[in-house]
Structure 1
Amino acid sequence: MAHVHATTPPTVPLDTKGPHGRRLRLVTIIATFGGLLFGYDTGVINGALPYMATDLGLTPFTEGLVTSSLLLGAALGAVAGGRLSDRRGRRKNILMLAVIFLLGTLTCTLAPTTAVMVLGRFVLGLAVGGASVTVPTYLAEVSPTERRGRLVTQNELMIVTGQLLAFTFNAIIGNAFGESGGVWRWMLVIATLPAVVLWFGMLAMPESPRWLASKDRFADALAVLKQVRSAQRAQAELAEVEQLALEDKKSQTGGLRDLGTPWIRRLVLVGVGIAIIQQITGVNSIMYYGTQILKDAGFSADGALTANIANGVISVVATFVGIYLLGKVNRRPMLIVGQIGTTTALLLIGVFSLLLPAGQGRAFVVLALTVTFLAFQQGAISPVTWLMLSEIFPLKLRGLGMGIAGLVLWLTNFAIGLSFPVLVDALHISNTFFIFVVLGIGAITFVAKAVPETRGRSLERLETELHTRFTREPALAGKGA
C-alpha cells in the first residue's frame, strides 16, 4: 500500500521551563520502573542459580532451562506487547505488565519444583519482553524532540540499576545466609516491590499523546501534551502529530499487511538488524554467567559473587555517560564506537584466557576486561539500540515494529543464553569469545552500511525522512539487514 507524505511537518518551537517539566520527569521515573524490573529479573539469576540448583536438584540442562525460559517468554511478550500497545494504549499495557511482573515473581519465589520455576520464569519473561518494547515507545512519544534521547535512555539506566541491585542483593544475601536452605527465594521476592510501585504509579500517569492522536482522540492528545509541555509548544506539536496521523490513516492499515509496503518492510529489517547486533556482542553471556566466568578465571565462589558487583557498577556509570553523550553525539557513530570497543574487549578476554595461567592474575585481568566490555556495551550500544528502535518506526506501526524487533532480539538472546555454557564446555571460553569477535566485525559493517541517523528530528519529521530515503534507496536496507 502506498504511503505518501504530501507535506513536510511544521516546525515546532523549543519548549520553555515550567511545572510541565516536573510532570514529565515524574512520568519518566514511574514508567522506567518497568526497566528496573526488566533489569532485576534478568540479573538476579546470575547469583541465585547456584543455590537454586542445590535446593531444586537442577542438572546442567535444567539450569539452562530455568535461565532461558525467561528469554523465550520475553520473545513472546515483546511481539504480543507491541501489538497490544498499538491496540489498547501504552499506559494500559504497562499497567497490565506490572500485574504480570508481580504474579511471575511470586510464582518463582514459591516454586516447589523445577517445572513450576520454569513456568514462573516464562511468565516473568512475558512481562520483561512487553516492558522492553512498551516503555521506550511510551517515553519516546511523551518526550520533546530535543530531550528524547536522554529521557528514553533513562529506561536503560533503570535496567542496569535493576541488574546492579540484583547483583548486590545476591552478594549480601549469599554471603550472609548462604548456608541456609532456600536463600535464593529471598533474592527473587525483592522484585515484588518495584512491581507494586509501577502499578500504582501508572494509575496516575497519562496515555501517550501520539497514541491518542493515532486513534483520532486529538482533544485528549492536546490535554496530555499540555501536562508535559508549555501551552504554545503543546499546540504546535499537536498540529505536527495530527497532520501525520491523518496522512497515515489514509495510507496505512496499521497492521501486518503494511509489511507489504517496501519502505516499511526495509525499515523493519533495519530494526531487526539493530536488535540482533545488540545481542551478538555476547553481553548476556556476561550478564547471566558472569559469576561462572569469573570463577573460571580464578576467583573463589564468594569472591566471584562480590567481584560481579563491579560489572553492575560499571553498567550504571557507563549508562550515565551514554545519556550525556546522546545529547551531544549522533547515534550511528556511538553505535560503531561501542561495537569496536566490545569486539576488542572480547578479543583480549579470549587471548588472555589462553596465554595467562589460572589464578588471581588471570582473574583480575578478565574482570578488568569484562568491565571494559560493559563500559562500551552499556555506555553506547544498549542505550542507542532501544532509543533507535523507539524512533524509527511509523506511528501507526510503532508497537508492531518494536514487537517484531523485540521478538528477534529476545530469540537471539535466548539462543546465546542457551548455547553459551555448551560452547564453553565444548570449545573453552577463549574460542567461544573468538566467535563473538567474528560476529562483532559483521555488526560493525552492518551499522556503517544500513543504519540511518535519527538524532535531532521529531518522530514525525523522522518518519517523513525515512519514507523518502528508503523509497529512493531500495537496495540499502535489504542488503544490510
Structure 2
Amino acid sequence: MSTNTSSNIIYKSTLVASVGGLLFGYDTAVISGAIGFMKIYYQLSDVMTGWVASCALLGCIIGAMYSGKLSDQVGRKRVLMLSALLFIISSVGTALAPNLWIFVIFRIIGGMGIGIASMLSPMYISEMAPAAIRGRLISIFQLGIVTGILVIYFVNAYIAGIHDESWNISTGWRWMFGSGVIPSIIFILLLLSVPESPRWLAKQKRNNEALAILTQINGTHAAQKELESISESLKDETPFSFSEIKEPQLKQALIIGILLAVFSQITGINAIMYYAPEIFKSTGVGSDSAFIQTILVGVINLIFTFVAIKYVDLWGRKKLLLLGISGMAICLFIVGFAFYTQQQGYLVLIAILGYIACFAMSLGPLTFVVIAEIFPTKARATAMSVATFFLWLAVFLVSQTFPVLIGSIGNAYTFWIYMIVAVITFLFIWKMVPETKGKTLEEIEKTWEK
C-alpha cells in the first residue's frame, strides 16, 4: 500500500466533506447581500428584518439536534447527502417563494441542512483521519466554510450589479438564494465517490468493510491495530442512550464541548460577520466601500484559516486557542475604545480585521476540531449533536441581541462586553480544555477514563 494512495483517499474524503462546510458558509452568508433588498420589497420592520435574517438558525438548531441519532442509524454519508438535498430544496423554494412566510419555511429547511453539515462533516473527517494530521484535516472543514462565505459575497455583488436597484428589489435577491442549487448538486455527486466512515462500519459490525477502508488510509499493519482498538472501544454493545451522558467521563467531555461551542460564538464573531456592512457604515464610510470592506473581512478570514491548518498539529490545539483568544480580546478592546473616543475610520477596520484573523486561526476551526475529537466513539454522534445544538443556540442569541445591545448601550460597551467574554473564554481554555494533538480517537477516549 503506497502512502500516496492512502493520502489520496483521506484528502479526497476530507475535501468532499468540506464541501458541506462550503454550503454551510454559502447558505448562512447569502442573507447578507439579500436582506437590504428584501427589507424594501416586503417593507419589513426592524423586528421582522431580524427574524428574516436569522430564521434559518432555527433550522440549524433542529438539524444539529437530530443528525447525530440519524447518522448512527443510517450512516454518516447518507445523512450528509440528506443535508445537500435540503440545501437544494431550500435554494429553489426561497428563490420562488410567493410570499414571506413560504420564504421563511424554505429558509428553515436550508437551516436544517446547515445544522446537519456543521455537525456531521467534521465528525466524518475525524473518523477517517490518521491521528498525526487529524487537526489539520478537520480545520479544512472551516476552510470550506470561509470559502463558501467569500464565494457568496462575490456572487451577491455580481448579481446586485447585473441591473439597477429596482430589479434587485423585485428579483435580484431571489437569484442570490437560487444560486445555492449549483454547489448543492456538486456536493451530492462528490459524496457518491467517497467511502463510509470506518468507525461507523465497525459499530455496525461490518468489520471487513471497515478494515478495507482503514487499510487504504493507514496501510495493512496499522489498519489492523486501529480496527482492534476501535472494536475494543465499542465492546459495550448496549446502544447508546441519553441517560449515559451522566457518566462522569462523558459528562466532563460534554461540558467542555458545550462550553467551547458556546464561547466560540458569544465572543461576537457572528455579530461581526452578519452585520459587517452596517458596522462599517456606522464608522462613516459609504455603502459601496462598506461592501468592499466586508469582502476584505472574508479574505482575511480565509488567509488566517491556513495558519490554523499549518500549525494545529505542530503546536497543538490548546496553544493556538490561547494565542487566538488573547488577540481577539485585545482587538475587541480597541474596537470599543475607537467607538468610545469616536476615533472611527481605519482604526475600527484594522481592529476588526485583527479580530477576524485571530478568530480564523483559533476558535473558528479549532472548536470543530476539539468537539470532533473529545467524545468516545460510541457516544460521538449524540454528544456532538448536543454540543452543535448549543453552538447554534448561541449563534441565534448573538444575532438577536447584537442590534438590541447596539441600540441600548451603544457600540463601545457592546464590544467591551464581548471582550470580557473573551477573557473568560481564555481562562476556560487554559484550565479545562485537554490537549488532543497526535492521539488516536481511542487514546483520547482512554484519557477520560483516568
TM-score range, shorter chain: over 0.9
TM-score by length of 2: 0.96
Q: Deviations over 1:212-234 (max 9, x none)?
A: 11122111111222333322332
- Matches of 2:390 and 2:164 in 1, distance apart? 37
* Residue of structure 1 equivalent to 2:115: 129
Deviation, structure 1 residue 85: 1.3
- Which 10-residue stretch deviates more, 187-196 or 171-180? 171-180
- Matches of 1:271 and 1:405 in 2, distance apart? 6
- Matches of 1:416 and 1:24 in 2, distance apart? 36
Paired residue type of 1:313: V
The size of the alignment, in residue pairs, is 447
- Matches of 1:458 and 1:335 in 2, distance apart? 20
* Residue of structure 1 equivalent to 2:147: 161
Deviation, structure 1 residue 341: 1.1
Q: Deviations over 1:179-228 (max 9, x none)?
A: 12321122222211111011111122211000111122111111222333
Deviation, structure 1 residue 296: 0.8
Conserved in 2, the CA contact under 8 Å of 1:339 and 1:443? yes
- Matches of 1:110 and 1:161 in 2, distance apart? 26
Question: 1:420 aligned to 2:405?
Answer: no
User: What is the aligned counterpart of 2:362 among 377, 380, 386?
Assistant: 380
- Which 10-residue stretch deviates more, 400-409 or 301-310? 301-310
Question: 1:237 aligned to 2:226?
Answer: yes
* Residue of structure 2 equivalent to 1:330: 316
* SS at structure 2 position matched to 1:182: helix
Please list, as runs of the form range in 1=range in 2, the aligned pairs for 1:58-69 lying within 5 A after superposition. 58-69=44-55
User: What is the aligned counterpart of 1:443 among 425, 431, 434?
Assistant: 425
* SS at structure 1 position matched to 2:239: coil
- Matches of 1:262 and 1:144 in 2, distance apart? 28
User: What is the aligned counterpart of 2:127 among 128, 135, 141?
Assistant: 141
- Matches of 1:347 and 1:117 in 2, distance apart? 39
* SS at structure 1 position matched to 2:234: helix
* Residue of structure 1 equivalent to 2:257: 271
Conserved in 1, the CA contact under 8 Å of 2:250 and 2:448? no
* Residue of structure 2 equivalent to 1:187: 176
Conserved in 2, the CA contact under 8 Å of 1:86 and 1:396? no
User: What is the aligned counterpart of 1:203 among 162, 170, 192?
Assistant: 192
Conserved in 2, the CA contact under 8 Å of 1:336 and 1:448? yes
Question: 1:433 aligned to 2:419?
Answer: no
User: What is the aligned counterpart of 1:102 among 67, 70, 88?
Assistant: 88
- Which 10-residue stretch deviates more, 131-140 or 430-439? 430-439
* Residue of structure 1 equivalent to 2:41: 55
- Matches of 1:116 and 1:368 in 2, distance apart? 40
- Matches of 2:29 and 2:348 in 1, distance apart? 20
Please list, as runs of the form range in 1=range in 2, the aligned pairs for 1:271-420 lying within 5 A after superposition. 271-356=257-342, 362-420=344-402
User: What is the aligned counterpart of 2:208 among 215, 219, 230?
Assistant: 219
Deviation, structure 1 residue 176: 4.3
Conserved in 2, the CA contact under 8 Å of 1:36 and 1:160? yes
Q: Deviations over 1:377-403 (max 9, x none)?
A: 011111110000000011011011110
- Matches of 1:170 and 1:363 in 2, distance apart? 25
**Identity over aligned residues, as a percent?**
34
- Matches of 1:373 and 1:146 in 2, distance apart? 29
Conserved in 1, the CA contact under 8 Å of 2:325 and 2:363? yes
Deviation, structure 1 residue 268: 0.8
Paired residue type of 1:272: I
**Which ranges in structure 1 are unaligned for 5 or more consecutive residues?**
1-14, 469-481
- Matches of 2:8 and 2:87 in 1, distance apart? 27
Q: Deviations over 1:314-354 (max 9, x none)?
A: 00000011100112111112111111111111111111012
Q: Deviations over 1:256-304 (max 9, x none)?
A: 0211212211211111011111001100001111111111111211221
Deviation, structure 1 residue 178: 4.7
Paired residue type of 2:210: A
Q: 1:119 to 1:86 in 2, by over 3 A?
A: same
Conserved in 2, the CA contact under 8 Å of 1:170 and 1:305? no
- Matches of 1:343 and 1:401 in 2, distance apart? 29
Deviation, structure 1 residue 163: 0.6
Q: 1:254 to 1:435 in 2, by over 3 A?
A: same
* Residue of structure 2 equivalent to 1:257: 243
Paired residue type of 1:238: L
Conserved in 2, the CA contact under 8 Å of 1:298 and 1:363? yes
- Matches of 2:110 and 2:37 in 1, distance apart? 20
Paired residue type of 2:181: T
